[in-house]
A and B are shown apart, each in its own frame.
Chain A
Amino acid sequence: MSVLIIAEHDNKSLKPATLNTVTAATQIDADVHVLVVGFECQTVVEQASQVAGVTKVLVADNAAYEHQLAENVSKLVVEVASDYEHILAPATTTGKNTLPRVAALLNVAQLSDVIKVEAADTFVRPIYAGNAIAKVKTTDAVKVLTIRTTGFDAAASSGGNAERQVLSQVITSDRSRFVKEQLAESDRPELTAASVIISGGRGMGNGENFKLLEGVADKLGAAIGASRAAVDAGFVPNDLQVGQTGKTVAPDLYIAVGISGAIQHLAGMKDSKVIVAINKDEDAPIFQVADYGLVADLFDAVPELEKSL
């Protein structure tokens, strides 16, 4: 039976997290449908129908869905759910917000942050901040899963030619109203999609010093991240947080600067291909996961690194 994916998008473009979710879906079944819920989101529909492996795109385009509120989107998904045995969304803040509502309305469990598909009813997910890996089997009639994007490669964004189906149901959410959004503006790549990330921790000392990382980031085309300690100390905003309670990343290169390596942080970055740690404390736990460790004062090493790149 077909798999349904709720697309991650901002009404303008399809987000890469959707592509990783498509790969997870194709490991369950070959018939993969993508639901685009939004407002004036025609470009997203175009992009979704070109993704390799997607056979059908369902479109619900209405002002009521502009901000993808969990209350009405979940009800819309439930209306089409009877055609599917699996319903997936990327484990982004949007997916995490909406999908548990879908599961509860269908009276089934949700399996969160799936990193591996073993079989159509058996999945692997990290628990305890990634300190244990659980393999779980479900006999629920509909399997509802959020997909951790770092667990799956991205599907090709072109090559597909999916048919389209318009959903005309308009479901409003009268008791939830969008007020405003303050999105961080940056020319750098998105943290979860970047191939190189340089992150700062408590050792940065203050928010001003994060500028040091920008020089290196510019040279490497990297995104900038932070540990929870740096966020808690108010150095940088929370959307930079990498870790158990922030974002999970797996870039080709992760450079941890002034980060001690608390379990919570490691949970968010230890699947990176190459990890570099720069820390003046040679006993910092970050060195246990680093491929290349440099015991040095970051205020000397980071400017030198910028110069040598």
Chain B
Amino acid sequence: MKILVSVKRVIDYNVKVRVKADHTAVDLTNVKMSMNPFCEIAVEEAIRLKEKGVASEVVVVSVGSKSCQETLRTAMALGADRAIQVETEDGLDSLSVAKLIAKVAQDEAADLVIMGKQAIDSDNNQTGQMVAALLDYPQATFASEVVIENGEAQTSHEIKVTREIDGGLQTLAITLPAVVTTDLRLNEPRFASLPNIMKAKKKPLDVKTPADLGVEVGSKVSIVSVTPPPQRAGGIKVGSVAELVDKLKNEAKVVS
């Protein structure tokens, strides 16, 4: 089984986000960038499937400017076999990204596409579902467990995926080729070791353009403004539980 994993380079999750003074975008100059946390989980899951002998090859793909090659090298240091960068401007919309990833999945004849459920910058939670729709593949989003039985899986093999849904958990059986998107509890990603980081530099990394893939990109959505969120007015500290209850009853009037 061949697995395709998509990874996105995003602002590091520990960085405090600041909006540009002209309200056009979030300020990304000199900000630490990292692999999107849900994409790390996707890479980890693919590598584990390879280590179990269920997958034969793990290919990673990223869509963006040259800087996302760094993210692809990280994925290869974690254990992916090779990488594809689709060279575009950064911040392409989800549908365009989905079209590019869908085409790569087709060209690579990937049996399983694993993607993060959402990127922590645009917070859209949609690209995986779009890839599945474009390819008419089944999907299992927000996965907390992926079970593949009977050795190496191939196309038309059925896999079982448990999903995090609002009220609890749901398990689906989907037939490969398929798309899985990862939720937090699927696994705990490993760290790359120094020797593996060195080795990753020698792994193959292909660069393609949307034109190479025959995909037209573009969006009819434009950003009018990006502003900081309204700040909550500062509150007060209370000295005791009794004072707290009194305030809730008589000042805020949210407790009767």
The residues of A with any CB-CB pair to B shorter than 8 Å are 67, 69-71, 74, 92-94, 96-105, 107-113, 122, 126-140, 173-184, 192, 196, 220, 228, 231-232, 237-239, 244-245, 247, 252-253, 263-264, 270, 273-276, 282, 287-296, 301, 304-305, 308-309
The residues of B that contact A276 with a CB separation of less than 8 Å are: 244, 248
Main DSSP-derived SS at the B contact region? mixed
Interface 0/1 of B12-27, CB less than 8 Å to A: 0100110100000010
Does the CB pair A239–B221 fall under 8 Å?
A: no
Among the listed stretches B45-53, B58-66, B115-123, B195-203, which one makes contact with chain A, having 4 or more residues with CB under 8 Å of it? B115-123
| Option from B121, B138, B166, B221 in Cβ contact (under 8 Å) with A176 | B138
Closest to A308 in B: B245
Nearest opposing residue in chain A for B188, CB measure: A232
Given contacts A101-B133, A247-B166, contact A196 B254 (CB under 8 A): yes
- Centre residue among B137, B144, B163, B169 by max chain A CB count within 10 A: B169
Cross-chain contact A178 with B172 (CB below 8 angstroms): yes
**Distance of A245 Cα from B118 Cα, bound (Å):** 9
B95 near A103 with CB under 8 A, answer yes
Instruction: Return A144 CB to nearest CB of chain B, in Å.
Output: 9
**Nearest-CB distance from A305 to chain B (Å)?**
5
User: Which B residues are in CB contact (< 8 Å) with A138?
Assistant: 220-222
Q: Is the CB of A301 within 8 A of B139?
A: no
Q: Which of B121, B163, B238 has the most CB of A within 10 A?
A: B238
Chain B residue nearest to A241 (CB atoms) is B184
CB-contact partner of A108 in B95, B165, B227, under 8 A: B95
Would you call B11 an interface residue if the criterion is a C-beta within 8 Å of the partner chain's C-beta atoms? yes
CB distance from B255 to the nearest CB of A (A): 7
User: Quick check: is B250 within 8 A (CB to CB) of the other chain?
Assistant: no
In the complex formed, the residue of A with least CB distance to B127 is A100
**Across the interface, which residues of A come within 8 angstroms of B225, CB to CB?**
134-135
15 A-B interface contacts by CB (under 8 A) = A100-B94, A101-B129, A104-B95, A127-B122, A128-B123, A131-B228, A173-B138, A175-B178, A228-B184, A244-B123, A253-B252, A270-B232, A276-B248, A292-B238, A292-B247
CB closest chain-A residue, reference B118 = A245
Chain B residues, CB < 8 A from A291: 232, 235-236, 252
Q: Are B120 and A128 in touch, CB under 8 angstroms?
A: yes
| Chain B residues, CB < 8 A from A232 | 184-185
Give 1 or 0 for each of B229-248: 1 = CB within 8 Å of chain A CB: 10010111110111011011
Q: Which residues of B contact A (CB under 8 A)?
A: 11, 13, 16-17, 19, 26, 93-95, 98, 118, 120-134, 137-142, 144, 158, 160, 163-175, 178, 183-185, 219-229, 232, 234-238, 240-242, 244-245, 247-248, 252, 254-255
User: What is the CB-to-nearest-CB distance from A257 to chain B, in angstroms, rounded to a whole number?
Assistant: 12
Once A103-B130, A239-B166, A274-B248 are accepted as A-B contacts, the answer to whether A289 and B232 lie under 8 Å apart by CB is yes
The docked-state distance in angstroms from the alpha carbon of A92 to that of B125 is: 11
Known A129-B123, A176-B174, A179-B171; judge A135-B129 contact (CB<8 A): no
How far is B113's CA from A41's CA once the two chains are assembled, in angstroms? 34
Report Cα–Cα, A173/B220, bound state, in Å: 31
Distance in angstroms from A261 CB to nearest chain B CB is 12
Given the known interface contacts A96-B125, A110-B126, A175-B174, the answer about A136 and B222 at a Cβ–Cβ threshold of 8 Å is yes
